[in-house]
Amino acid sequence: QRRVRIPHLLTMKEKGEKWAMLTAYDMYSAEIFDEAGIPVLLVGDSAGNNVYGFETTVPVTVDHLVPLCRAVTSAAKRAMVVADLPFGAYQSSPEQALATATRFMKEGLAHAVKLEGGAPMVPEVELLVRAGIPVIGHIGFTPQSEHVLGGYKVQGRGAGAEKLMDDALALQDAGCFAIVMEMVPAPAAAEVTKALRIPTVGIGAGPDCDAQVLVWQDMAGLRGGRAPRFVKKYADLRTTLGDAAKAYAADVAAGTFPAEEHSFLE
Ligand code: KIV
Ligand code: NA
């Protein structure tokens, strides 16, 4: 099976074929989503909230993501694997961005990188692309800037729609091969999608993006508590796993596990 590459994604946009992207942070999730035909897997810095137990993505470092990327890339035979560049690891200069992205690429940890920010990130994107590193942009609500943005808030409302469009066009011109739009009004995302030659990937950005992305633990119902509005729960793994743990513990307490078939009798 051939690896998904940028031309596949551009062709899908031309043909109007929508596709789904998921995060993955370990071997089994990557293997399962790859076998399910998900073309792009993101080792997101959302690992901060979904793997490491941080409240935000801000504390996430390259060292946090490297082992997760290694697991996902080993397990995904067909999917394109994208590594998120963590907060503080690319904003100082294009050179810093290149050094960080190069680490992911050179060690074979990813096939592309993603970074947050619009027009101000053009020099970073240009240098990475010139160096041969494919880049996905990320605009609208950018979690690494949540303290500046004043919390989890929809971006691109009213006059913000113009900024969203300018950022998207600037990133496309700089050489991004796709752009994530997070928490923006559906009509604004639709306008950007129409204006771009490269695919848009929405999360809380309405139905007209070329692709959608969700954090897998949200999509599969592993997380507890209330999920954001843009999440649809396709499974209830939290209940399934909790029930399995309770059944196992009950069996052990009752002495019904291990049974004969689980034991070496001589
Ligand atoms: O880190 C992440 O999971 C992301 C996606 C939600 C786009 O950036
Ligand atoms: Na992210």
Q: Predicted confidence band at 84 (pLDDT cuts at 50, 70, 90)?
A: very high
Q: Is 26 left (phi over 0), alpha (psi -120 to 50) or beta?
A: beta
Q: Is the pLDDT of residue 126 over 90?
A: yes
Q: Predicted confidence band at 131 (pLDDT cuts at 50, 70, 90)?
A: very high
CB of 196 closer than 8 Å to CB of 170: no
pLDDT of residue 180: 99
Query: Is residue 215 within 6 Å of ligand 1 at its C-beta?
Result: yes
The tokens of 62 are what?
A: 């390259």
pLDDT of residue 40: 98
45 marked ligand binding residue: yes
116 marked ligand binding residue: yes
Question: For a pLDDT cut of 90, what percent of the chain falls above it?
Answer: 98
Question: For a pLDDT cut of 70, what percent of the chain falls above it?
Answer: 100
Q: Is the pLDDT of residue 1 over 90?
A: no
What's the whole-number mean pLDDT along residues 57-63?
98
Q: Which atom belonging to ligand 1 lies closest to the Cα atom of 116?
A: 8
Q: Predicted confidence band at 3 (pLDDT cuts at 50, 70, 90)?
A: very high
CA–centroid distance, residue 182 to ligand 1 (Å): 9
Active site residues: 182
Domain at 6-235, CATH from 3.30.2130.10, 3.20.20.60, 3.30.200.20, 3.30.110.70: 3.20.20.60
CB of 178 closer than 8 Å to CB of 19: no
pLDDT of residue 113: 98
Q: What is the DSSP letter of 117?
A: B
Which residue type does 171 have?
L
Map out the domains of the chain as residue ranges.
6-235, 237-266
CA–centroid distance, residue 266 to ligand 2 (Å): 52
pLDDT of residue 205: 98
Q: What is the pLDDT of residues 163-176, one digit of tens each?
A: 999 999 999 999 99
Query: Is residue 69 within 6 Å of ligand 1 at its C-beta?
Result: no
pLDDT of residue 108: 95
SS3 state at 51: coil
What is the residue-averaged pLDDT of the chain? 97
Residue with the two structure tokens 């609208």:
140
Q: What is the pLDDT of residues 163-215, one digit of tens each?
A: 999 999 999 999 999 999 999 999 999 999 999 999 999 999 999 999 999 99
* Closest alpha carbon to 112 in 139, 93, 94, 132: 132
> Between helices 186-195 and 160-174, what is the axis angle to 10°?
30
Query: Is residue 84 within 6 Å of ligand 1 at its C-beta?
Result: yes
| Per-residue buried b or exposed e for 38-76, using 16+ beta carbons within 10 Å of the residue's own CB | bbbbbbbbbbbbbbeebebbbebebebbbebbbbbbebb
Q: Predicted confidence band at 36 (pLDDT cuts at 50, 70, 90)?
A: very high
What is the maximum alpha-carbon separation in the chain?
76
CB of 236 closer than 8 Å to CB of 226: no
Record the pTM.
0.97
Query: Is residue 45 within 6 Å of ligand 1 at its C-beta?
Result: yes
